[in-house]
Structure 1
Amino acid sequence: MNTPTDRHDAFARVLHWSMAVLILAMLFVGVAMVSSMTLRPSLLMLHRPIGIALLVLVIVRLIHRLRRRVPDLPRDLPGWQRVAAHASHIALYALMFAMPLIGWAMVSAAGNPVVLWGDVHLPPIAPHDPVFYSLLRAAHAWLARALLAVILLHLAAALYHAWVRRDGVYRTMAPVPLGPRPDEDRAVTPAEVDAP
């Protein structure tokens, strides 16, 4: 049921912050896999199941978001910032879907099993094809860079709302509500102090 709220619900906040930690871990693991051939096998054992876990979590998160009312943006937010906020969320969701799917397809195209753990394997979703594999590998690398760029923009926007505008937008997704609500965050005039 849609009810007005000034914060995302607890489930949405847990999904947001746990996915943020997993995505950053995946980006660092991905860089380490490319940089170190000795660590690559053990890092792959982490990378694949976390990638599939993120795919499941982003599906859950999207379903949850579509079923729940999200806090409104401040009324005085400039139009271009509203457009940027919506565009960045669409880009984040698109990249969070695309990255694990392309990774899964890339492993399939390489002719390797997609091992989650032990004997649990995922079915291939792409034909075994070295040319297709190289295209997917390049796409996976470029989309990882794009994801990092969008995350940095998202972080910059969150800090802008928290520290510059102080309009309550950061508070809606903060793990715990810090500081005053936006309607409480203003100076009290002497007339208001003296008022009966």
Structure 2
Amino acid sequence: MDSEPAGYNLLARVLHWLMAVLIVGMLMLGAAMIGTIGNYGVLLSIHRTVGLAILALAVVRVANRLTRRGPAPGEGLSPRERVVAVASELTLYVLFILQPLIGWALVSASGIPVRVAGGFRLPAVAPESAQVYARLHLVHTWLAYLLLALFIAHMSAVLWHTVALRDGLLRRMLVRRP
């Protein structure tokens, strides 16, 4: 396309890419935690700390999105595609906040002090209970699978727009040179 597509503001772009790296790392870390025995405590500590960072960044990202509107969905999208794009974006934002909160609650329910960043202790946000822990663990796991599925769908859509449609959609989220 000849014209430059409208882009997101710089803070939105930086938060997008920073969170993308952290979330991909978290998905890989979660998979590693399932398959390890020896380093589980270290992985769990990193997982908690990165989860808290994602929560903080997500809150800033949502505030930025609410105060500084992003560009309109691509012009070539059908009404149905626009609904899917908006719904997937909203679902991702909800997961960015809900997933770390549920993780925090499940650790609270385990009765283990919630420690992040090498010892900083967070308050418990759920009662100590094996039943609550088990339910929250299941929800946390299924939301991780949903996040992975949405991530794959998001990447597939970006690839489709970049390679097949060549509509410049990806440029809206890239940091531009002056």
Output the TM-score relative to the length of structure 1: 0.84
Paired residues for 1:98-117 under 5 Å: 98-117=98-117
Task: Give structure 2 stretches of 5+ with no counterpart.
Answer: none
> Hey, what does 2:142 align to over in structure 1?
142
Q: Distance in 2 between matches of 1:101 and 1:75?
A: 36
Structure 1: tracts of 5 or more residues without a match: 178-196
What TM-score, normalized by structure 2, do the two folds share?
Answer: 0.93
C-alpha contact (below 8 Å) 1:107/1:133 kept by paired residues: yes
The letter of the residue matching 1:110 is: S
Name the CA distance, whole Å, in 2 between partners of 1:70 and 1:168.
15
What is the aligned residue count?
Answer: 173
Contact 1:162 1:171 in 2 (8 A): no
Q: Secondary structure at the match of 1:29?
A: helix
CA contact (8 A) 1:108 1:125 kept: yes
In the alignment, which residue of structure 1 is the partner of 2:66? Answer: 66
Secondary structure (helix, strand or coil) at the match of 1:115 reads: strand
Matched residue type, 2:171: R
Match in the other structure for 2:27 = 27
Residue in structure 2 matched with residue 90 of structure 1 by the alignment? 90
Tell which structure's C-alpha radius of gyration is larger: 1
Aligned to 1:36: 36
Could you say which structure has the greater relative contact order, defined with CA pairs below 8 angstroms and 6 or more residues apart? 2
In structure 1, the partner of 2:126 is 126
Aligned partners of 2:34 and 2:169: how far apart in 1? 37
Coordinate RMSD, CA, aligned: 1.3
Distance 1:20 1:50 in 2: 12
